[in-house]
């Protein structure tokens, strides 16, 4: 298939491209290479992708509607994986306009491109952050998510609503994936595994928010990519059992689906830090701090719907995943073992 992957120079985007390229798909990778974090890391990821003859990279901002429309018209993609977004909960408190341009305007342009060029299936990244103030565990795609606690979360919820509108109006098959704290080799520098590992290796103290009383459903990158590709191959369809009088937010009378992708095994933050310490062989100095605005105490994914749909659930143990991440970090940044 000919597949567009947006955010191709990103953490999840690069790994998704590698998987699609390895199975023989033609992949066009799009990214604007913004400087939200180290551009050199993004360029290093791209260098891996450009070793494949069936990969092409296009530097483009999804908020440029004319350029995106021309791209879709000229390339005639069969399927699209939209992983481009302005990421980060905390940064959304400082620069809200970046989230509107990338996550709302950019996603609108992707939807329009898919609509006009009759794309077979659009798979897009949502986030566990949409659960916001909800405290019912585990988080289920069947629950109400109308109380976001960050603008980032609000834009992701908006993406789900926008996708449903296009599925309804234009019969565009769309599937949204709510990712739960993804980690692994080539990960993002603003995420906790990266922040903790770099600080411990360099002898700096780590910041531990909410005094360590946090839980996260950490999900290894290979599991995330397996879920993305399996979902991409299973085109969203209308739910024949959908009841408009008792609507289920995870499905529809239109070709629309939502799934969680998480490890279904939340880990206490202090246990997570200890796992990194063991992998590195060094104890971290810790600064215990209060909760940050826009953050949530816990995440925990109910993945039953995903298992039923694609016969897959994440299964990489935390110790194994962290070991692989630390090994990559040491090699990439030339840190002694």
Catalytic residues: 152
Q: What is the DSSP string of 96-130?
A: HHHHIIIIIIHHHHHHHHHHHTT-SEEEEEEEGGG
Contact 128, 179 (CB under 8 A): yes
Closest CA to 210 of 303, 128, 290, 110: 290
Report the distance separating Cα 175 and Cα 237, nearest Å: 9
| Alpha helices for the chain (secondary structure H) | 11-22, 39-49, 65-75, 91-94, 96-99, 106-116, 151-170, 192-202, 221-233, 269-280, 304-310, 318-332
How many CA atoms lie within 13 Å of 167's alpha carbon, on the beta-carbon side? 26
Contact 117, 109 (CB under 8 A): no
Residues 6+ apart with CB under 8 A from 82: 6, 7, 107, 110, 122, 123, 124, 125
Residue 23, number of CB atoms within 10 A of its CB: 8
Largest CA distance in the chain: 61
Helix (H) or strand (E) holding 2: strand 2-6
Report the distance separating Cα 148 and Cα 130, nearest Å: 6
């Amino acid at each position: 298939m000919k597949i567009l992957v947006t955010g191709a120079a990103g953490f999840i985007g690069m790994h998704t491209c590698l998987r699609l390229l390895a199975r023989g798909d033609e992949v066009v990778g799009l990214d604007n290479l913004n400087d939200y974090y180290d551009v050199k890391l993004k360029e290093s990821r791209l260098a891996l992708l450009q070793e494949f003859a069936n990969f092409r990279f296009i530097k483009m901002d999804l908020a440029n509607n004319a350029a995106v429309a021309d791209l879709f018209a000229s390339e005639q993609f069969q399927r699209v994986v939209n992983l481009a977004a302005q990421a980060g909960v905390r940064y959304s408190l400082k620069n809200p306009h970046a989230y509107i341009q990338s996550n709302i305007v950019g996603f609108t342009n992707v939807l329009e491109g898919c609509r006009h060029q009759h794309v077979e299936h659009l798979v897009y990244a949502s986030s566990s952050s949409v659960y916001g103030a909800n405290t019912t565990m585990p988080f289920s795609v069947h629950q109400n998510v109308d109380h976001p606690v960050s603008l980032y979360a609000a834009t992701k919820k908006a993406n789900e609503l926008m996708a449903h509108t296009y599925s309804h109006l234009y019969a565009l098959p769309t599937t949204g994936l709510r990712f739960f704290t993804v980690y692994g080799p080539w990960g993002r520098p603003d995420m906790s595994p990266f922040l903790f590992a770099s600080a411990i290796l360099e002898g700096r103290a780590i910041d531990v928010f909410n005094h360590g009383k946090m839980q996260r459903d950490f999900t290894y990158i290979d599991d995330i990519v397996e879920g993305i590709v399996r979902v991409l191959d299973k085109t969203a369809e209308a739910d024949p059992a959908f009841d408009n009088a008792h609507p289920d937010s995870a499905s529809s009378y239109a070709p629309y689906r939502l799934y969680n992708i998480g490890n279904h095994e939340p880990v206490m933050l202090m246990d997570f830090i200890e796992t990194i310490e063991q992998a590195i062989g060094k104890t971290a100095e810790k600064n215990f701090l209060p909760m940050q605005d826009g953050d949530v105490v816990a995440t925990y994914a109910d993945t039953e719907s995903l298992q039923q749909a694609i016969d897959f659930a994440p299964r990489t143990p935390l110790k194994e995943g962290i070991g692989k991440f630390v090994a990559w970090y040491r090699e990439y940044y030339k840190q002694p073992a």
